[in-house]
Amino acid sequence: MSKVKTGMGRRSFIKNVSLAGGGLLIGFNWLACKRAAEESGKEMALEMPEEWFEINGYLKIGDNGVVTIYSPNPEIGQNVKTAMPMLVAEELDVDWSNVIVEQAPLNTDIFSRQIAGGSQSIRQSWEPLRMAGATARQMLLIAAAKEWDVPLSELTVENGIITHSGSDRSIGYGEIAKFAAKVEVPEEVVLKENNNFKIIGTSRKNVDAKKIVTGQPLFGLDVNRDDMLIAMIVQPPAFGLRFKSMDADDARKMPGIKDVFTIDTYPDDMEKEWSDVAAFSKLVVVVGESTWQVMKAKKALKVEWDLKPELTEEIVILEKSPALRDTLGLENSETHESLMANIGPEESQMVRKDGDPEAAFKNAARVIERSYSCPFLAHNCMEPMNFFANVTNGKAELLGPIQTPEFAEKSVSKRLGLDLENIDIQMTRMGGGFGRRLYGNFLVEAAVISDKIGAPVKLVYTREDDMTNGVYRPAYQVTYRAALDGNNNLTAFHVNAGGVGESPLFANRFPAGAVDNYLAESWTIDSHISIGAFRAPRSNFIAGAEQSFLDELAEEMGKDPIQFRLDMLERAGTDPVGENNDYDPARYAGVLEVVRDKSGWNTASTASGRGVAAYYCHNSYVAQVLEMDLEDNQPVIDKVTCVVDCGIVVNPDAAINMVEGGTIDGIGHALYSELTFKDGVSQQSNFDSYRLIRHREAPKKIDVHFIENGMDPTGLGEPPFPPVQGALANALYRATGKRIYKQPFLPEIKAESREIKT
């Protein structure tokens, strides 16, 4: 068992016995715990990641033994609303059937890092939330020992029932909770050994499942108040345009319309949070009694826009393009592609260099060079952006789907001049996030609108608003080069990667550390198109490109694709090059070895195409083998075998769901999705023109396996998404005989087919 010092004092531990029925309410401020330990000069008994000292556990015990556990982080479908309370319940040693789970509101006094992003919720709450449950359990045991006047060592607890071994007396948590509230916080608590887990590692149903399937209100779009108005925005039609004027007379006269006006969400003098990414700050707003009335009024508006005066001055690189000058500086996807394909050495920045790659390439017997690219992508959450706001009497009540409530609270405070304690943000379940709801401009917009009209409003984006408003996954390009000597040995590896607004390069990831001569270079192209995090940021492109190139390189060298990767990983493990390699070669190799076995890689496949890929991101390792056939130039994916090393799996069924979902999502975006621009205007604005994967196009079977190594949990929501794109590309090559270097794949597949027929 591990003893963990709580390091708690008055500032870091909250007890409240005023609950109805004499229950116990406890909370933990882990930032205060850290400070207490630092100030006392004592070391923590169990080392934790520094950022994790700011996480809180929070629970409530009623006198009937029912336990309410608050889930602090936003729920976007990754099932943390079930998994995080499981960590508390495990150490509390309570019967899960007696647990009620509630979504915690934003509360920076008790909780920290109430964020859904980076696949970090379980990883960073692993020790703090378990400590929350263990501390509560210890206080309950101490209270029982005092009441019975028996040694603490003679007490045991199971499923919320405390038993005294000497007298066979027993008492439930609910009966002793009011006495536990008077107990001093223990200086240290004991956490369970992994082999004693009863809840962690077992499948528990989603706590919201019944509400979801029966259509009960859970999501932001479900919010409804008797006096609530509906607000919608009208934004510039192109990136690089701004509001000039409008004629709203006809719209204001329409039934149910209360007002039409403009807002500036983020004035120039406002200090922004990192989450305040917004494509357009100055917007036209229509407010009315119903969604339908407001949508009709939007169509009656006559709005004029003009070009931002600073546009051509800011986009220095893009000014070189005659096409952009012809369109007054408004951007085009064709121009983006041309610029990315022609980036020169002088525009690239060296990020990492091992050995002498220049000499190795100069002396190479052969050089293999390939370039890969992908388009912008829209997040397209099934629930469009929305938020409820009621700003009155110097206070703001905000309710809706947001991945970063703490940062949004600060933004509202700055924008409206309200103290943080006068802002109340409640989180609803989200109909998807994928990184889009990290950026809370729609929440700030709702608050500004409510403040201006002095009434509660629900801001609702239409699908067209959502898809054309940014924030997008950037368009990327990467070029790989490999040098081979006369014996077909790999002597040098070069990666040059960049994109519109951001580079996808991870210079210290595999195969860095496995090649004597290695060079990584990065570049970016400026743009007015707003970009941001997309599921598995940057990895979502470069993983597939890297794994495609490694497959092609293995073929050129006459090696089995899996064995080629394993040989490189063995080198990285036994004799690594460089000191900053950010992956564990043994764990990386482990998922490849298991996927080789589980997929039957070394036996013949009935599928016309089979491909493999493996990747490390968000602290986890995933290997996938994809098997497919082609029917009328349409990929039919028969099976994907997934092997995941993410440490301890808290909720197996939910974890399998995440792996399946990430795999399908990765396949869909690689095959079908793209967002293109002409004169700054998105050419796709709804699902009739923006292609997502259909149900019938999902793999027929996804076989998921987890590596059981007993390590603390790492990320899971994002890691399965990136590598499957490489596995798909490699399978397509074996099915068609043609390599595909540009996403989305499907148009390339059909183009190849037309060429063959011709």
Name 26's Cβ contacts closer than 8 Å, sequence gap at least 6: 13, 14, 15, 57, 58, 59, 132, 135, 136, 139
Task: Supply the pLDDT for residue 439.
Answer: 97
pLDDT over 90 percentage in the chain: 81
Burial 706-738 (b: 16+ CB within 10 A, else e): bbeeeeebbbbbbbbbbbbbbbbbbbbbbbbee
Q: What are residue 677's DSSP bridge partners?
A: 682
Length of the chain measured in residues: 758
pLDDT over 70 percentage in the chain: 89
Q: What is the C-alpha to C-alpha distance for residues 154 and 175, in angstroms, rounded to an integer? A: 19
- Looking at the structure, give the CATH architecture of the domain made up of residues 533-757: 2-Layer Sandwich (3.30)
Q: What is the band of 326 on the pLDDT scale with cuts at 50, 70, 90?
A: very low
The mean pLDDT of 431-458, rounded to a whole number, is 97
Helix (H, G, I), strand (E, B) or coil at 446: helix
Reading the block at residue 541, the tokens are 């492109």
Task: Supply the pLDDT for residue 463.
Answer: 97
Reading the block at residue 636, the tokens are 């039919």
Do residues 188 and 7 touch, judged by C-beta distance below 8 A?
no
E strand or H helix that includes residue 222: none
Burial 323-347 (b: 16+ CB within 10 A, else e): ebeebebbbbbebbbebbeebeeee
How does pLDDT run across 661-706, given as a tens digit for each residue? 999 999 999 999 999 999 999 999 999 999 999 999 999 999 999 9
Q: What is the C-alpha to C-alpha distance for residues 329 and 22, in angstroms, rounded to an integer? A: 67
Task: Supply the pLDDT for residue 65.
Answer: 81
Q: What is the DSSP letter of 194?
A: G
How does pLDDT run across 498-532, given as a tens digit for each residue? 999 999 999 999 999 999 999 999 999 999 899 99
Reading the block at residue 127, the tokens are 């020790």
The CATH topology of domain 2-205 is Aldehyde Oxidoreductase; domain 4 (3.30.365)
Q: What is the band of 214 on the pLDDT scale with cuts at 50, 70, 90?
A: very high
Q: What is the C-alpha to C-alpha distance for residues 520 and 177, in angstroms, rounded to an integer? A: 59
How does pLDDT run across 254-265, given as a tens digit for each residue? 999 999 999 999
CA 226-424-399 angle, to 5 degrees, is 45
Count Cβ atoms below 10 Å from residue 103 Cβ, excluding itself: 18
How does pLDDT run across 166-203, given as a tens digit for each residue? 898 999 998 898 888 788 888 899 999 999 999 999 99
Reading the block at residue 420, the tokens are 């943080």
Q: What is the C-alpha to C-alpha distance for residues 571 and 550, in angstroms, rounded to an integer? A: 16
Q: What is the DSSP letter of 219?
A: B
Predicted TM-score (pTM) of this structure = 0.91
Q: Phi, psi (5° rounding) for residue 512? A: -55, 140
How does pLDDT run across 110-119, given as a tens digit for each residue? 777 899 999 9
- In angstroms, the Cα distances linking 663 to 147, 473, 588, 623, 691 are 54, 18, 18, 11, 17
Task: Supply the pLDDT for residue 8.
Answer: 42
Judge if 2-205 and 533-757 fold alike in CATH terms: yes
The one-letter code for the residue type at 573 is G
Lowest-pLDDT choice from 310-324, 547-561, 621-635: 310-324
Q: What is the band of 9 on the pLDDT scale with cuts at 50, 70, 90?
A: very low
Task: Supply the pLDDT for residue 757.
Answer: 52
Q: Phi, psi (5° rounding) for residue 314? A: -80, -35
Asked if the model's pLDDT at residue 43 lies above 70, the reply is no
Q: Which residue has the tokens 């690594």?
A: 576
Beta strands, E only, 273-332: 282-288, 302-307
- In angstroms, the Cα distances linking 290 to 75, 300, 442, 460 are 28, 16, 19, 11
The mean pLDDT of 25-51, rounded to a whole number, is 36
How does the average pLDDT of the chain come out, rounded? Answer: 90
Helix (H, G, I), strand (E, B) or coil at 636: strand
Task: Supply the pLDDT for residue 754.
Answer: 55
How does pLDDT run across 219-265, given as a tens digit for each residue? 999 999 999 999 999 999 999 999 999 999 999 999 999 999 999 99
Task: Supply the pLDDT for residue 174.
Answer: 87
The residue with greater pLDDT, 5 or 460, is: 460
Q: Which residue has the tokens 């000597």?
A: 485
Q: What are residue 625's DSSP bridge partners?
A: 612, 641
Q: What is the band of 311 on the pLDDT scale with cuts at 50, 70, 90?
A: low
Asked if the model's pLDDT at residue 534 lies above 70, the reply is yes
The mean pLDDT of 134-149, rounded to a whole number, is 94
The one-letter code for the residue type at 443 is L
Q: What are residue 395's DSSP bridge partners?
A: 392
How does pLDDT run across 706-753, given as a tens digit for each residue? 999 999 999 999 999 999 999 999 999 999 999 999 999 999 898 766
- Looking at the structure, give the CATH architecture of the domain made up of residues 220-309+385-460: 2-Layer Sandwich (3.30)
SS3 sequence of 430-463: CCCCCCHHHCCHHHHHHHHHHHHHCCCEEEECCH
Q: What are residue 102's DSSP bridge partners?
A: 70
Q: Which residue has the tokens 């603390």?
A: 712
Q: For the chain, which residues make up each domain, given as ranges?
A: 2-205, 220-309+385-460, 533-757
The one-letter code for the residue type at 387 is F
The mean pLDDT of 565-588, rounded to a whole number, is 97
Task: Supply the pLDDT for residue 308.
Answer: 83
The mean pLDDT of 285-309, rounded to a whole number, is 95
Task: Supply the pLDDT for residue 310.
Answer: 66
Task: Supply the pLDDT for residue 755.
Answer: 57
Residue ranges of alpha helices (H) inside 206-255 are 209-213, 249-252
